[in-house]
Amino acid sequence: MTFYTYNYLHATQHTWQYARVIVISILVVIFILFMLHYLRNKMDIKYKDLSVIIATLLLLILGMQYDDYSNIKSSSQQTGQMTTLVKEVAKRLDVQTDEVSVNATSQNQNLLVKTPKGYYRVDFNTDGSQFVLEKVDLHQANNIQVEDK
């Protein structure tokens, strides 16, 4: 079973989005450079062809970005909810947020929390706005891995 720390949840919340923005920005700069070079040298057709290729690639990536936007937004929101949950659990158990880990990156029915004070199961109410911590004992606690960035 894998548990994820607050640092891991917080770091992965933005990493992939920044990578996409960087790739799109680089492609836009390359496209502009090729177009400027082509406009200066009208006889050099290879820069026009390269500009068309880069523009097509840019449109493809922007299309994928738009398609994945709702998935990214939902994933980011769920990860944000998990970081809030970790903060709240740390506050209730009077431990540091760095010492709390959860077994999922999104809220689900079987959410476990690992703290220095033991393992807890999180029971949410019907709308997910409140929760109760229930102390549990794991039978195979030696198979636990903690992901931390």
Total structural domains in the chain? 1
Q: pTM of the full predicted structure?
A: 0.60
Q: Is the pLDDT at 16 greater than 70, yes or no?
A: no
80-119 residue pLDDT tens? 777 888 888 899 899 998 888 888 777 766 788 888 888 8
**pLDDT for the residue 31:** 85
Q: Count CB atoms within 10 A of the CB of residue 76.
A: 15
pLDDT score of 40: 86
Sign of CA dihedral 51, 57, 60, 64: negative
Residue written as tokens 């077994």? 103
pLDDT in tens, 52-89: 888 888 888 888 777 666 666 666 666 677 788 888 88
With vertex at residue 38, the alpha carbon angle to CA 32 and CA 39, rounded to the nearest 5 degrees, is 90
Residue 140: domain span: 2-147
